[in-house]
Amino acid sequence: METGHPLRAASDALQADRPEAALEALAEELTGRDVAWQVHYLAALALRASGRADEALPHYAAAFRSRSPSAEAWLNWGNAYRDAGACEDALAAYERACEAEPGLALAWSHRGNLHAERGEFTPARECHRRAEALAPNSQAVLCHAAAADLAADDPASAVRRLERAGATTALPANAGVHLARALRKCGQRERAL
């Protein structure tokens, strides 16, 4: 693809965390009659990144009418459903991601978190065990599992996971908040400061 091509420009904008610029680059392509699946997929990613998950969903559907989604695409689609509040559809998309690529730890992790949010702690733990077996040192996987631990009222497990997650790299701000909350629940207020 040559430089300046709308797909390249949109992809570059997404990588630079500029979803509105990506949508701008795709605007003309999206007005065509036979829009390529890649255009719809990039539009879906950009819309979700700009906080418009409900508008992203039809683009995911259009992108995959003629093409089977990859595991990563199912994961992204699941995240958009989740952001839009469509939990059943999100869970189905996460399950499809896990089926398409059983070794994709983040798919198992997101699936586990959704189960935990729904109060389904047994399948949540199973998904997080699987994710951790696949990526035992992944900060994202450990942070997701810790959030599920907190939802299941297991702060001691959350502390262990978050301490492992922060052993080599500083924790993201939201994970630090989870760690402080878990430490307080474990009666370790002085460490929570």
What pLDDT digit, counting tens, does each position of 44-93 carry?
Answer: 999 999 999 999 999 999 998 878 889 999 999 999 999 999 999 999 99
CA torsion angle 47 52 54 58 (round to 10): -20
List all residues 6 or more positions away from 140 whose beta carbon is below 8 Å from its beta carbon.
106, 109
Q: Residue 11 is encoded by which pair of tokens?
A: 């992809």
pTM for the whole thing? 0.76
- Which candidate, 43, 56, 37, places its Cα nearest to that of 13? 43
What pLDDT digit, counting tens, does each position of 101-128 carry?
Answer: 999 999 999 999 999 989 999 999 999 9
Helices (H) and strands (E) in the chain, counts: 12, 0
